[in-house]
Every structure is written in structure tokens, then in C-alpha cells.
Structure 1
């Protein structure tokens, strides 16, 4: 789905190639993001940054906000496209453009702005995770004050070790110290996947198992836990949309 027209114009900076499953069922990850965060009357564009597609500098001003996706790559890697993405994120921050980073996007946003990221000390986190929200959060995240905790789909083996100077940690879990961070009113990082459906994660677990990234007992436990619970996707999507659109 691509929503066109209206004043709001947003861009997805896609840091992953579409899996066969997501391409077949959803038409690609771009559509997953637009379905989760988009509304009628908006325009959403796609830049496949993993393939070296970036907005030109004179295009940036045309956008109200940017979403940086997850990725199988490490946010602390030095691939050319990752370094180019870091440079772009630094520019967007200096322009006070709204940037929402998800999973890898959360981590690379942290890195670009001076924080530290690396392998999670406690290993993979795959499945549902209850995230605890810090009380007394100021605007534009005041709606979080009515939500002491939310469940979110997670799939990562890297994490934020240290947030950038001036950033605030606004959510944490018993697995990850920085589940969310914010800078001012324009930067928001979320470690989990508010855009994912459970079937996307089920398929991803199978792919991780097939390429020996995780062990079979770990994958099976993650699936069993996932079958018996639901993520608070509607709340997460409201948080993301409210942030991007200043509602």
C-alpha cells in the first residue's frame, strides 16, 4: 500500500532486503511499515539504503519524517552504506527532522549520534518482550505515561550499550537496558518491532534456524511463547504515528 497526496510526506530508509515471504504476503517490508504507520492523505517513499539508495540533500527538506528499518547487518559495521546512513542521520538530527529508528535503525541512530552499540551480552532476544516505560516522560511522549508496560515483538542480537549525549532512556526491559531512547522532540529509537506481525516473526525464526543463526530448542521455545501471547501492536503503532506526526 502506498498512500499519496496531502501535506505529510514520509520516507522509509530500508536497511534490509525483502524476504521471499514478506514479498509474497505483504508486497515487501515497505508496505508493512506503511500499513502500520501510514494514514490516508499522506505520501510515503522508499529508499533502499542497503542497496545504496539515499535521498538527495535537497530532497530532505520535503519530508516530515523518516523511519529507519531493521536489518540483518550490525549497526556497528563499517560497510559503505552503513557509514553513509550514519552521515545522513547526523544531518537529519542537525535539521531537527523527525527520525524513528526500529531495531537496527534504533541502534544505528544511536551510533550516528555518538552513542555506543554492540553485541547483546545476554545473546539473542527473539519473541515477545514486556517493555517497562519510564514514568514522567515529557512531551511529545506524554501518552506513554498512561502505559506502565507494553509487550513488543523482538528479534535482535545487538543492542544499545550507551545512548548519545543528551538522549533520554524512556523504556527498558529485563533483557535490554535501552528499549527506547529519545532526543528532544525529533529522535525516537525503539529496539523492538512495532510493525511486525507474528507470522512475519515465525517466518524469520525459521530462516534464522535454517541458516544456523539460532539453535532448534531456542527457536522452538520462542515459537511456543509467541503462540500464547499477543504484542501490543496497536499501542505501539499509535506511539510511532503520534511521534512522526506530532499528534
Structure 2
């Protein structure tokens, strides 16, 4: 399977030289569980054109500093692409901004949350176990996060897979439309999360808040497991 990764954001300029771009992080996350997968990256955030759907087998929408309600040239075409891919039953995965973009394209309400920024390790309760959710021990899992926008309603036909008090729509499965999406960041290592938070130390975030968030990530998160889930989902929709 070829996975087309739509790159909707870049690491902050201050740390960009020190870390891979987001598509490379996702390839590293999923490929150990899907050795036959190939990836192509399309930087729509930098003006690259969207691919023709007849050349697409599966799609992943990355995270971004952008909000789905912002007026970027690529935003409306992205929503249109997501909907058309859904109509063609092309499997799609969204993470953070990608989660919000797929949900918004499918009719959900997405806004800047009055709860403010989510940082550090967040724990999610499982509400429903789709077939792709294998290997989980217990009824919770955790991921590192960095977001203030949130999905605030359930798109028609979707099921709520996981939630927390802070993030009531943390993981979605879109049912008849072959798509899944995650608010947390399985592609981010703890080191990258902390580098990201430290960019805003003393401005958006207090030093104490950054230290707390980084300390929380000393406890292992479930990145590898979520990478396995993504591979299982993609495998189940090979066309």
C-alpha cells in the first residue's frame, strides 16, 4: 500500500533543523507494523497541489499550527479532498489538526476550546473498540498532546472511540466512511514534545507548565500501539 501524507504543518522554525518533518515521523511510526507500505509526502502547506484521487490508495493528514476555521488557501481544498476521498472509500487517518480537519469536513463543530492548551501526557478512556484496535491491555491509553482546538461534536455516522474529561472527542471512527482520527500525537516522541513546548516557554506557557508537561512524559505513552492500530486499519482497507 502507498500512503499519501498530506503535510499541513511544519515544526516551529526555532527547532526545525533539529527534528524530522512530520511525514517522516509518521513513516517511522507506521512502517514497522506495515513493512510493505510506501509513503509519498505532499506539502500542501507549502503550496503543493493535491494529488489526483485515482493515484491515491490511502491518506494521512498531519498536524498543523493552523486552525480549521482559518482562511488559508489550502483549507477549503483540503476539506473537499477529504470528502471526495470518503466518497471513493479511500482510507484516511487524521492526527491533531488532521483529526479536526476530517471531523470538520464530515460536519463536526471544531473550535478553540475554552479549556485552553492541552500539554503533556493525556490519558484516554476507551468508549468503543473497533476491529483495528488490537493489542490494548486495559481500558485506557495515553499520548503526548499539544493543542487548544478541539472537535466539539460527533459527525453523522461516526463513533466515539476514546475520550477524556479534557478532550471529549479524542478518537473517532467514521463508520461507513473509512476514516479514523486521533487528537493526540503518536508520531511525537517525548523529546520532540518537550522541544515544542519549550519554544513557547515564558510566552504562551509558563516555565512551570512546561516543566510539568515534560515531567508527565517521563511515563511511557502508547505511540507504538497506536502505530500498530493505524497499520491494522490501513491493512483492513487495502483495495
1:42 corresponds in structure 2 to 37
RMSD of equivalent CA atoms = 2.0
The Cα of 1:19 is off from its aligned counterpart by 4.1
Matched, 1:31 2:21: no
CA distance in 2, matches of 1:220, 1:208: 12
Change in Cα spacing, 1:142 to 1:205, as seen in structure 2 (3 Å) is closer
The Cα of 1:133 is off from its aligned counterpart by 0.8
Does the CA-based 8 Å contact 2:68-2:110 persist in structure 1? yes
Q: Which runs of no fewer than 5 residues in structure 1 stay unpaired? A: 1-7
Does the CA-based 8 Å contact 1:10-1:44 persist in structure 2? yes
Higher-RCO chain (CA-CA 8 Å, sequence separation at least 6): 2
Q: Which runs of no fewer than 5 residues in structure 2 stay unpaired? A: none
> How do 1:150-165 residues align onto structure 2 when only pairs under 5 Å count?
150-165=141-156
Change in Cα spacing, 1:84 to 1:147, as seen in structure 2 (3 Å) is farther
For residue 174 of structure 1, the aligned residue among 152, 162, 165 is 165
The Cα of 1:151 is off from its aligned counterpart by 1.0
2:215 corresponds in structure 1 to 224
CA distance in 1, matches of 2:187, 2:64: 14
2:205 corresponds in structure 1 to 214
> Deviation per CA, 1:170-218, whole angstroms, max 9, x where unpaired?
10012110010111261101000011101110100011226x2222222
Question: TM-score with structure 1 length normalisation?
Answer: 0.87
Matched, 1:200 2:200: no
1:51 corresponds in structure 2 to 46
Change in Cα spacing, 1:142 to 1:201, as seen in structure 2 (3 Å) is closer
Greater mean deviation of Cα atoms: 123-132 or 46-55: 46-55
CA distance in 1, matches of 2:147, 2:20: 23
CA distance in 2, matches of 1:234, 1:62: 29
> How do 1:63-102 residues align onto structure 2 when only pairs under 5 Å count?
63-102=56-95
CA distance in 2, matches of 1:245, 1:145: 18
